[in-house]
Amino acid sequence: MGGTIKLDCVVLDCPDPVGLARFYGELLGWKPDEPVVEADGGEWVTLRNPDGGVHLAFQRDPDYRAPTWPSNERAQMLHLDFHVTDFEAWHRRAVELGATVLRDRDATFTVYADPAGHPFCLCRNES
């Protein structure tokens, strides 16, 4: 097979791309690009990974309905995992920024919802 392929970006649908980009930008310390407003009223904001890895982007979906994890009434479709070395500090930071705990902490990770309701995990990485 010719050429190459590389995962560039994970895109999350949401009702407020600017607000959700602000949440993850503050959490990760990444700077958002300027929002792109499309002719049909759509809106898109990208957070560029400063380390050159996969970026995060957020697109407006006026019909977005948050997942209901752990219930499957509205499936989560995907979630993000973030490895952290000082779990307590990152837990406090995520909650201060507007995350909601969905599953209490255990030995290895805690499940949260971002302000739009997407599940994500803070995973202990003590090494």
pLDDT at 94 > cutoff 80: yes
- Please indicate, yes or no, whether residues 57 and 2 belong to a single structural domain of this protein: yes
Task: Return the percentage of the chain with pLDDT > 70, whole number.
Answer: 98
pTM: 0.89
Does one domain contain both 58 and 83? Answer: no
Give the HSE-up count for residue 122: Cα atoms under 13 Å, Cβ half-sphere. Answer: 28
Q: Which residues constitute the domain of residue 90? A: 65-127
Residue 105 pLDDT: 66
* Confidence category of residue 116, pLDDT binned at 50, 70, 90: very high
d(CA 65, CA 55): 23
The answer to whether residues 111 and 121 touch, using CB atoms and an 8 Å cutoff, is yes
Question: Quick one: 32 and 74 in the same domain?
Answer: no
Burial readout 55-80 (b: 16 or more C-beta within 10 A, e: otherwise): bbbbbbeeeeebbebeeeeeebeebe
15-24, 37-46, 60-69, 116-125: segment of lowest average pLDDT: 37-46
* pLDDT above 80: residue 47: yes
* Tokens (6 digits) for 45: 């904001």
Residue 115 has pLDDT above 90, yes or no: yes
Please count the structural domains in the chain: 2
